[in-house]
Homo-oligomer: A and B are copies of this chain.
Amino acid sequence: MYGGIEWLVDAQGCAPAKLRDRGAVLEVLDRIVEAMDLRVVSTAVHVFPDAGGVTAMYLLSESHLTIHTFPEAGSATLNAYCCRPRAPAPWRELLGEVLGAREVTASEHARGRR
């Protein structure tokens, strides 16, 4: 089966200091890699200046992980795209623990099918 599954995960009510913390944002992706047994090929990270957030992208053997944080809104938006069968990571617990998220919504999208 080609194309795989992508989860779009949005977190609200996060701790703004965590959303500006490069280490915390990468911890989110690293914990997903571990939970879903993924292989990282390369990474790109950018910390936006002043009160801006962090963007991190992991290029995977199994597709990609991305996260963007918006400290001014207390929110983060995460994508986890896996072209091989995997159970989803525990989004709510993970984003609550690492970023202090109080509300997490996740939707699942089949990709690449007619």
Where the two chains meet, the residues of A that have a C-beta atom closer than 8 Å to any C-beta of B are: 2-4, 6, 8, 10, 12, 41-44, 46, 55, 57, 59, 63-64, 66, 68, 70, 72-73, 75-77, 79, 81, 83, 103, 107, 109, 111-114
Contact = CB atoms under 8 A, between A and B. Distances in A.
Contacts of A77: 3-4, 81, 111-112
B109 A114 contact: no
Contact of A66 (B41, B66, B70): B66
Given A10-B3, A41-B46, A44-B42, A103 B114 contact: yes
Number of copies: 2
Contacts of A66: 57, 64, 66, 81
Contacts of A109: 8, 107
B44 A43 contact: yes
A76 B8 CA distance: 18
A41 B42 CA distance: 16
Nearest to A6: B8
Contacts of A107: 109
